[in-house]
Chain A
Amino acid sequence: MSNTKTFGTGTGAGELASLLAQLEDKKSQVERLLARVEEVLRRTTAPDRAGAPGPEAAPARKSPLDEVKTVMQSTSDLREANGNLSAVRVAKAYGVSLSQLAGWLRRTKQAVSKTPDADSLQEALGYFERVARVRLAIQGGGEFRKWLRTPHELLDNAPPLELMAKGEWRAMADYVDDMLTGAPT
């Protein structure tokens, strides 16, 4: 039996028009739903929501290395010309897809693709930038990506990338600060 369907004129064309109209309706519904999902995700990841993944409770804290020019320059490749951090550039540096990063940021891929350097992403991307500063000590993008995927004794033998995916952004950013400032373990 063949699965091939042919579209003729008359009743078939009318049915097709009806199906296309339904499809348009469904498309609009999906778009409205996506907009709502985006809104709910934005509220869920707000910093004052206890228990939410990502940097919990308190707002982003400054790093002891923020004032060090060379440290800041070490992650300039993650920024756009306007100075904002870019999700596309962060994903590339981390060796992950934009969809993966968007999921970690609790955004849709569409939203992040549309405005990868959106102001609303800057606080979250700031943690990814702080972690990327480890490149000061671990030279080269390849070495950085290898470091991200290597289990670390002090991180319960988890690779940093796995912890970033789980939303342990602050813990990882602090870990890198401690690494660069030689704080005892």
Chain B
Amino acid sequence: MTELEAIQLALRTAPLRPLKTTLVRCVALLPLTSSAMPDYLFTSGQANRYNPPGVRCVYFSGNEATARMEYARRFGKSRAARQPLGTYFAEVSLTKVLDLTDATTRDALKLRLNDLAVAWQLTKRPTRTQLLGLAANQGLVAAIRFPSDAARAKGSTGFNVVIFRDGVQAPDYVHILGPTKKPLKKWP
């Protein structure tokens, strides 16, 4: 059995829970405002911690402090870290969410906390978390809630959420909050 198959099997019995909350993302202001209407739910298909290339998904943080830490991590101590910053919010209601901040869920998937913090940027093969995202994206799960590595690196705690485009089906939703009741962007 391949690692992916083992994860797919474990996923069938892993506990899922609903998530109804407001999530946050921070972006450098210049790229964000360079086009008339930014695509706040743009899926680049680029690899990230919980997806190999080709998986359509977006990442948010659990609160502004975590989003700020995630944003600042790549800039380090450079002056650029203090440039104008844009923050936007997503109101989400998702029924099938895999919560990796919960030990029971991690145990069901045979994941250790160390597996969640592994460096993925330069790996040649998909990491375990990327394989989990690949398996989760096959319609079983709408999102994965996971500990923020940027917060951990700062000696703090926080969480992020990766939301899979194909996993968000009504009545689930993701709404980017705007000045009125009408969302700036929404899934589905």
Contacts and interface: CB of A to CB of B under 8 A. Distances in A.
A163 B71 contact: no
Interface string A133-172: 0001111000100010010111110000001000010010
B23 to A, nearest CB: 11
A71 B34 contact: yes
Interface residues of chain B: helix, strand, loop or mixed (majority): mixed
Given A182-B28, A185-B149, A68 B59 contact: no
A117 interface: no
A178 B27 contact: no
A137 B27 CA distance: 11
Max chain A C-beta neighbours (<10 A), residue from B28, B46, B60? B46
Interface residues of B, number: 39
B26 A182 contact: yes
B70 interface: yes
B45 interface: yes
B1 interface: no
Contact of B73 (A64, A137, A174, A185): A185
Nearest to B123: A171
Contacts of A136: 28, 30-31
A59 B61 CA distance: 31
Contacts of B47: 174
B69 to A, nearest CB: 9
Interface of A: 56, 58, 61, 63-65, 67-71, 136-139, 143, 147, 150, 152-156, 163, 168, 171, 174-175, 177-185
19 contacts: A58-B53, A61-B46, A63-B44, A64-B42, A70-B31, A71-B31, A136-B30, A143-B79, A150-B76, A152-B74, A152-B76, A154-B74, A154-B119, A156-B119, A181-B27, A182-B70, A183-B59, A184-B160, A185-B74
